[in-house]
Amino acid sequence: MLSSRHTLVAFMLLLSSSFVQAQQISGFSSRDLGKQLEAEKRLQDLPTPKGFEAHLKALTREPHVAGTPANDRVADYMAEAMRKAGMTVEKHPYDIYLPKGPGDIKIELVTPVRLPLNNKEYVLAEDPFSNHPDLDPGWNAFSGSGDATGEVVYANFGRKEDFEKLAEMGISVKGKIVIARYGGNFRGYKAKFAEAAGAAGLVIYTDPADNGYMKGLVYPEGPYFNESTIQRGSVLTLDYTGDPLTPFEPALPLDGDTKVERLDPKDVALHTIPVTPIPYGSAREIFSRMKGKPVPAGWQGGLPYTYRLEGGSSLTIRIKVDQPKEITRIHNVVGTLEGSQYPDEWIILGCHYDAWSFGATDPNSGTAMLLNLADALGALVKAGYRPKRTIKIAHWDAEEFGILGSTEWVEEFKDELSKNAIAYFNADGACTGLTFGGSASPSLKPLMIEATKAVEHPKENRTIYEHWLARTNTPEKGPNIGNLGGGSDHLPFYAHLGIPSLSAGMRGKSLYHSGYDNFHWYKTFSDPEFLSGATTAKVFGVMTLRLANANVLPLDIAQYGIDLEKHLTTAEKAIQSYHKGYSLEALKEQARDISAKATRYEEHLERKLDRAARQKTNWQPLNTAIIQLERCFIDPKGMAYGKWYQSLYASSDPYSGYASWMLPGFLYEASLESTKRLPEWEARYSKALEALNTQIGEVIRWTKR
């Protein structure tokens, strides 16, 4: 793919390695390429493991859940750090509907013995953080409040198919306490399906077969969940993200000038049953006492008992959750480095900063990396390399509760973003190991791949790209790069506004959402030398500088055609499985038209870049047209499962919350095995592809000048 595109090949000696490597950089005229290569080389010398370590340590001193004073202290640290780096910093406050912390939680066996169950991590001598007084017990934000005692039903992962299987086996969960294991879907859906099936309460635990002794040595001896480790997390499942009370609108401060209409919480589809997480040491007390029929294949976990569907009448457990919620102030912290030439063209980098405990891996390894990069960009500006376009580094609040902070900001600055935003790069928990990976919207995939060719792996004596490529079985297709879905702060940018987005990082082990996710754990098991932070900052830095300084924005048009045709085939197959002979050939033909046009664009662009070496060129109209390409997928009618999801191209799977759905209009229809709305979707997709086609024509028109 790369070789068919407009490229300028520059040979550059990477100082840190002993070989000369051909570097492909898209979108630069030969007149401007030299300075760019200088800037990139300088930038790559700046982020250091020491700098990353210092930020990470400072960010993760104490537990900092969204809405707490401790989280405000983190916000202040980041603001100060970015100011020092020379950025203009703004705090964007919102008043959103949030739990006031874990509230009152009781989880215990009632019969055959009265036995309270532990729901907080053990204090460990090795780990000074584990004794922090402000650590919360395990809890699920947006649990209902209630006090339920009942018999137990095990529901495996609590997926749609698990509850269906229970019903098929004649097991009712009505009035019972459901116990389900983490994994297989977003935890919020476990609560949604349990409540829909009539459960009185839900206990979620991490099974040792999924993360625990069955996987390897447990904390503190190894990185896996020990019998006290708990995954915290929100169970919010609405058909929009952001503040539950202000869909589509920013939850501006109550005391501000602009008054925003808020829903009554009673009118919002929040869960009503109590939900709480426990560790497997506590789940053992339940499973060891269950008396019913054994589970079907695939439901057995790693506790030393045959798992059973029901506990029987002799076993009753109580779950009480009293979790008051109220409108709470949160802050996004956004630093801006204004572009020297195109201040109204924005590249936005972001990561949330609120955490379930200390957040050493999730999210603040990403936060520390962004601060490390901010320091580097500041130094670069001082050295005379101010980027031509505006770079924003955003630290989002309350992502853990349901992507709240970023969504409110996106809703507040919808118009500016739609006009100005070139791309959004997400760095949530981005630096936890030495293995690079990423997902991206089509037009950003080549940018990510090219940037990894410019950065050396800190341990491997080869580039990040080479190390990445070595992990695929089909190297001829390039490295494995995912299709972006939901799960973090890119979602509002990508699925609500149609801003090309990516998520990337160097990953390793993580103690996901547990009380042990602290600096000691990070240093012991994630990255003892803090190499991933500095290296990821270089990859993000190179991607950013290329977008910021290119003559022509290096968003790849050809990739739209390629990916669209692939995803149309996938959707077609999904529909054919219940609707024989169904064809999306007409839309595929449109996708092929886009591919053909992309080839013409590349030829014209190459000529235009050649001419630009000799004559002054006004790039702005062309780039303005490029910025609008992805917006063609935005359709205000949204998805059938939620109007807020406005991108026809990408969404998160509304059943699991995790998986990426490409062409979600069709996929949702397929999930219902319905044909009813297919004509409507064909028309809406056709219109979007037509708009994209027209917009590419517009782009080509500007390359011809």
Q: Scanning residues 532 to 561, which ones bind a copy of itself (CB under 8 A)?
A: none
CB 322 within 8 A of CB 365: no
Shortest reach from residue 281's CB to a copy of itself, in Å: 11
| Secondary structure string (H, E, C) spanning 609-645 | HHHHCCCCCCCHHHHHHHHCCHHHHECCCCECCECCC
Dihedrals phi, psi of 608, to nearest 5 degrees: -65, -40
Q: Is residue 304 close enough to count as binding a copy of itself by CB under 8 A?
A: yes
Q: How far is the CB of 11 from a copy of itself (least distance, A)?
A: 39
Out of 302, 312, 437, 478, point to the residue binding a copy of itself (CB under 8 A): 302
Contact set for a copy of itself, span 571-590 (CB under 8 A): none
Instruction: Please report, as a single letter, which amino acid is at residue 294.
Output: P
What gap in Å lies between CA 373 and CA 376, rounded to an integer?
Answer: 5
Binding segment for a copy of itself among 41-49, 255-263, 298-306, 359-367 (CB under 8 A)? 298-306
| Nearest Cα to Cα of residue 427 among 538, 560, 524 | 538
- Does 528 bind a copy of itself (CB under 8 A)? Our answer is no
CB of 217 to a copy of itself, least distance (A): 5
Contacts 24+ apart (CB under 8 A), 24-27: 24/450, 24/453, 25/450, 25/546, 25/554, 26/446, 26/447, 26/450, 26/546, 26/550, 26/554, 26/556, 27/546, 27/550, 27/551, 27/552, 27/553, 27/554, 27/609
Smallest separation, CB 304 to a copy of itself (Å): 4
- Report yes or no: 454 and 13 within 8 Å, Cβ to Cβ: no
How near is the Cβ of 301 to a copy of itself at its closest, in Å? 9
Counts of helices then strands in the chain (DSSP H, E): 19, 22
Amino acid identity at 70: A
Does residue 305 bind a copy of itself (CB under 8 A)? yes
Stretch that binds a copy of itself, among 59-67, 250-258, 303-311, 368-376 (CB under 8 A): 303-311
Concatenate the DSSP letters of all residues of 560-588 into one string: HHHHHHHHHHHHHHHHHTTSTT---HHHH
User: Measured from the CB atom, is 300 or 671 closer to a copy of itself?
Assistant: 300
Stretch that binds a copy of itself, among 295-303, 309-317, 564-572, 666-674 (CB under 8 A): 295-303
Picking from 34, 19, 27, 17, the residue whose alpha carbon sits closest to that of residue 450 is 27
Nearer to a copy of itself, 136 or 227 (CB): 227
Quote the distance between the C-alpha of residue 413 and its chain's center.
20
Residue 601: phi, psi to the nearest 5? -60, -45
- As a 3-state breakdown, the chain gives helix, strand, coil percent values, each rounded to 5, of 40, 20, 40
DSSP line for 315-383? -EEEEEEE--EEEEEEEEEEEEE--SSEEEEEEEEEEE---SSS-TTTTHHHHHHHHHHHHHHHHHHHT
Contact code string over 201-230 relative to a copy of itself, x by CB under 8 A: -------x----xxxxxx---x-x------
Interface region with a copy of itself, contact rule CB under 8 A, candidates 124-132, 296-304, 456-464, 491-499: 296-304
Q: With CB under 8 A, what is the number of residues at the site for a copy of itself?
A: 16
Nearer to a copy of itself, 511 or 542 (CB): 511
Q: Closest approach of Cβ 181 to a copy of itself, in Å?
A: 15
Chain positions 356 to 385 lying near a copy of itself, rule: CB under 8 A, are: none
Handedness of CA 687, 690, 692, 694 (dihedral sign): negative
CB of 216 to a copy of itself, least distance (A): 5
Closer Cβ to a copy of itself, 4 or 306, answer by number:
306
Rounded distance between C-alpha atoms, residue 71 and residue 68, angstroms: 5
Q: Taking the CB of residue 629, how many other CB atoms lie within 10 A of it?
A: 22
Q: Choose the stretch contacting a copy of itself; rule: CB under 8 A; options: 194-202, 299-307, 513-521, 562-570.
A: 299-307
Q: What does the per-residue mask of binding to a copy of itself show for 168-187, with x meaning CB under 8 A?
A: --------------------
CB 69 within 8 A of CB 63: no
* Residue 290 sits in the site that holds a copy of itself (CB under 8 A): no
226 vs 365 by CB, closer to a copy of itself: 226
Least gap, CB of 300 to a copy of itself (angstroms): 6
Measured from the CB atom, is 205 or 493 closer to a copy of itself? 205
Q: Of the two residues 111 and 300, which places its CB atom closer to a copy of itself in the complex? A: 300
Q: End-to-end distance of the chain based on CA atoms, in angstroms?
A: 26
Q: Which of 175, 198, 256, 294 binds a copy of itself (CB under 8 A)?
A: 294
Complex with a copy of itself: residue 8 or 278, whichever CB lies closer: 278
Task: Considering only residues 306 through 345, tell me which ones interact with a copy of itself, judged by CB under 8 A.
Answer: 306
Q: Which is nearer to a copy of itself, 291 or 614 (CB)?
A: 291
Chain residues 660-699 in contact with a copy of itself, contact rule CB under 8 A: none
Nearer to a copy of itself, 2 or 217 (CB): 217
C-beta closer to a copy of itself: residue 215 or 684: 215
Least distance between a copy of itself and beta carbon 292 (Å): 10
Of all helices (H) and strands (E), which one includes residue 57? helix 49-59
CB under 8 A: which stretch of 146-154, 304-312, 367-375, 632-640 binds a copy of itself? 304-312
State the amino acid at position 186 in one-letter form.
Answer: F
Of residues 298 and 528, the one with the C-beta less far from a copy of itself? 298
Cβ closest to a copy of itself, residue 49 vs residue 302: 302
- Taking the complex as a whole, the smallest distance from the CB of residue 205 to a copy of itself amounts, in Å, to 14
Of 302 and 478, nearer to a copy of itself (C-beta) is 302
Question: Can residue 248 be called a binding residue for a copy of itself (CB under 8 A)?
Answer: no
Q: What pairs with residue 651 in β-bridges? A: 661
Whether 491 and 500 have beta carbons less than 8 Å apart is answered as: no
Instruction: Name the minimum Å distance from CB 305 to a copy of itself.
Output: 6
- Residue 303 or residue 562: which is nearer to a copy of itself going by CB? 303
Q: Is 115 left (phi over 0), alpha (psi -120 to 50) or beta?
A: beta
CB distance 681 to 669 below 8 Å: yes
Closer Cβ to a copy of itself, 27 or 208, answer by number: 208
Query: What angle is formed at CA 685 by the lines to CA 238 and CA 503, rounded to 5 degrees?
Result: 55
In angstroms, what is the minimal distance from the CB of 294 to a copy of itself? 5
Q: For the chain, how many residues are written?
A: 705
Determine which residue in the list 24, 118, 300, 628 makes contact with a copy of itself, applying CB under 8 A: 300
Strands 104-111 and 342-352: unpaired
**Two structure tokens written together for 21:** 């490597």
> Which CB sits closer to a copy of itself, 215 or 329?
215
CA distances from 490 to 336, 349, 415, 575, 636 (A): 18, 10, 17, 29, 19
Binding region for a copy of itself (CB under 8 A): 208, 213-218, 222, 224, 294, 300, 302-306
